[in-house]
Amino acid sequence: MIIVAATDFSTRSHRALRQAGLLARARRAELHLVHVVDEDQPDDLVRMEEREAQRVLVEQIGSMPELHDARCHPIVITGHPFDGILRASAAVGADLIVMGAHRKQFLRDIFTGTTIERVVRGGKYPVLMVNNEAQRHYERVLVPVDMSETSADAIRFGLSAGFLEDGSTLLHAFSPVAKRRLLSSGASSDVISGYVDSERHGAMEEMSSFLVANEFDAQRWSLRVDEGVPMQVIAHAVAEKRPDMLVMGTHSRSGLLRALIGSVTEEVLRSLNVDVLVVPPTRPDLRPPKAATAACSDA
């Protein structure tokens, strides 16, 4: 496994480096520490910052306990942060990018997104956003799923990378479409409750079928189906279960549509204080046969 950990030398990035180090040691992975120097400045200043960044990276490799015994390689590259991270990741053949949560810049982010969101939109690499202190093992993992192909891709990567184990929770949000009509028609609470329970049962059966279709049924999952819109359901489950990590897929949306309406995954990245692993769709030429696949989640 090849892991890229991006750092801007902030406290947020230090947490990400420590987590990346623990992941690399546990998986005997190569770890590339990447810092991007802004090239939009005088050449002399760029060269000076490159030398200083190289020095700091080497110093961190030697001083961070979590990086000891990890196969670490410092990389300094010039450019815009998100582009530099993606170019460095492509150069080393990264399997995973680890980043700290970036400071929001409000108006600019509405239209362009944070650096981590722009890296996620690159659509090729799984990205782990680290919000909390480094932990040796993610014990409570929550996986929002919408039974799409993207959800299946996220679960496959989570299993192959060792993030998902027996007891991980799969969460699905369902919306009983006729509930509002029943309420407005004056239906009794028993009728409404029975209808919602029926819809919940149907959603649970759909999740079970999804697991079987994708050959995930050998794993012992904790299954949870909650009524509501996806973001509200995810936020409520995070507050209640206090997971160490969320594992989510992201659907391919781009351009103005994404800028205007965003996605559940981006809402999660912006608003929930939990480590989030975002997995892009698998390239079509790498997908398993149709009969063996099924879903994924941008929730």
Matching CATH topology for 1-134 and 137-299?
yes
pLDDT of residue 1: 93
Q: Please enumerate in sequence order all residues whose Cβ is within 8 A of that of 105, keeping only pairs 6 or more positions apart, or say none.
A: 114
pTM attached to this predicted model: 0.84
With pLDDT > 90 as the criterion, what percentage of the chain qualifies?
59
- List alpha helices for the chain, DSSP H: 11-27, 43-63, 81-92, 107-112, 115-121, 149-160, 179-184, 189-213, 230-241, 255-261, 264-271
Cα 235 from Cα 200, distance rounded (Å): 19
**Percent of the residues in the chain that have a pLDDT greater than 70, as a whole number:** 86
Which of the pair, 184 or 58, is modelled with greater confidence? 58
CATH architecture assignment, domain 1-134:
3-Layer(aba) Sandwich (3.40)
How many Å separate Cα 140 from the centre of its chain? 15
Domain ranges (residues) in the chain: 1-134, 137-299
User: How far apart (Å, rounded) are the C-alpha atoms in residues 81 and 7?
Assistant: 10
Average pLDDT of every residue of the chain: 85
The CATH architecture annotation of domain 137-299 reads 3-Layer(aba) Sandwich (3.40)
**Which residues make beta-bridge pairs with 171?**
144, 224
Q: Is pLDDT of 145 > 90?
A: yes
- Eight-state DSSP code of residue 65: G
Q: Cβ of 104: how many Cβ atoms within 10 Å?
A: 11
